[in-house]
Each structure stands twice: as structure tokens, then as C-alpha cells.
Structure 1
């Protein structure tokens, strides 16, 4: 692999990460953003979610949307054109699935709490 190929790859990843702050949604947890049933979720909504305990953290992935939550807080995940996933926590490593991206984010957090990835100021 040539040095210019590595530089092109890094530049491409940097371009993907340079998403305007207004596009990044932060703040609410998945439950707060999607709970319109007064606390009761339909059986279909429960089946859509995959939950896993990883290194003492709870990772929840929506199979329909690919949304990833760590301990109830949304992780900003970007789906790339080739079916790979990139997170705001680890923007230099591309993962094959949203769950793998969530696991990588937990590794990067090293026990810290997930903070909102950005806000839009008008």
C-alpha cells in the first residue's frame, strides 16, 4: 500500500466526519424520542430491538433503522455507501455492522458516559 493511498483514505474519512453540526441529532434517548405509547411498546417494536451487554454496558440496536444506543443514549452512527458504519466515537475505524460500531464505541469510552455528539445553535 502506497503512502498516497493511505492519505487519500484518511482524507476521505475526514470528509465523512465533517458533517455540519446541524445535521447531527443529539440529546434525547431513544425511549424519549420514540415513546408515544405512554410507556407500553408494541410487540413489533420490541422484536425490532437487539440488546446486548458488552463490557458492562447495554448496547441496543434497532434492526430496522440501525440506530445504536449505549446505556439508553444515542450513538451517532453514519452508514457509508458500501454498507459499512462509522461512529462519532471512532471516526477512523469503519465497522461492518451497527452492533460492531457500538462495541467499538464502548471500547473507546473506557467506562466514561456517552455525551451528545453535537447541537445546532441558531
Structure 2
């Protein structure tokens, strides 16, 4: 008889754990809309038509993507991100950039870190290059 009570207790504990986890997931999903808007807002604000700056002696250009950049990046960018029309060039060489599902960006020079804006990605790439020349990415 004590085995039956133990089994019932374990079933109840398992069900309670699942219910608590589901409740936490529901709270996270329903409140994520506000926090996602806060994440997207800075990225959307930094999408002007053209940015040109010099950072650590390197010329960074963020502007309309070339047709080759659009084609190479098309499968990485989300339909809602709007970054498919923008490209990054460092000293005139295109930098391959991918947009993550959460609206952040990564680049071929630093795949393991996400950045909120294209400007941050470009600056991180310059930092990573540390004076080396960026080579065009070859597909195929």
C-alpha cells in the first residue's frame, strides 16, 4: 500500500513540475513582446540609408547592398528584418553579415557573438581584423 502512495506522490510531483514549467514558458512568451520591441528599436533606429565612418583607421560603409551581397545574404536574413537591402563594406570589401532570429547580427569575422546593430558588427569586425585586410568571401 505504501508503494501506491509513493507512486501517486511521484505522479503528482511530476505533473506539478510540468505545470510550473509550462506556466513559466507562457509568462515568458506573453511578456516577450515588450522586450523584443526594445531589442528591435535600437536596431531599427540604426538603419539609415548610408553610414560612412572611420573606425581605428578603417573605412566602414553601411549602405545599400550590392546584388552579390543580397544574393549571398538572402537565405540568412529574416523577411521582417529589413537588412537584406543593407550591406557592410570595410575598406571597400563586403563583410558577410547574417541576421539572427532575435534581430541581432553576426558576421563571418565573429560567428560566436551577436550584436544589436550593423554598426556594432562592423566595428567588431575591424577589432577582430586587428589591422589585417578583409578578404572577399567566396561562395561556391
Indicate whether the TM-score tops 0.5.
yes
Query: Which category of TM-score, normalised to the shorter sequence, fits these structures?
Result: 0.5 to 0.7
Which has the greater radius of gyration? Answer: 2
- CA-CA distance at 1:48 after TM superposition: 2.0
TM-score of the pair, normalised by structure 2: 0.49
State the partner residue of 2:139.
Answer: 119
Q: Distance in 1 between matches of 2:106 and 2:86?
A: 12
Say how many residue pairs are matched.
74
Aligned CA RMSD, in angstroms, stands at: 1.6
Q: Distance in 2 between matches of 1:97 and 1:66?
A: 12
Q: Distance in 1 between matches of 2:131 and 2:107?
A: 17
- CA-CA distance at 1:93 after TM superposition: 0.7
State the partner residue of 1:106.
Answer: 126
Unmatched 5+ residue regions in structure 2?
1-47, 65-82
Secondary structure of the 1:99 match is: helix
- CA-CA distance at 1:81 after TM superposition: 1.6
Q: Distance in 2 between matches of 1:86 and 1:66?
A: 14
TM-score of the pair, normalised by structure 1: 0.56
- CA-CA distance at 1:85 after TM superposition: 0.3
Please identify runs of 4+ aligned residues in structure 1 that moved more than 6 A. Answer: none
Unmatched 5+ residue regions in structure 1?
1-46
Q: Distance in 2 between matches of 1:66 and 1:81?
A: 17
- CA-CA distance at 1:66 after TM superposition: 2.8
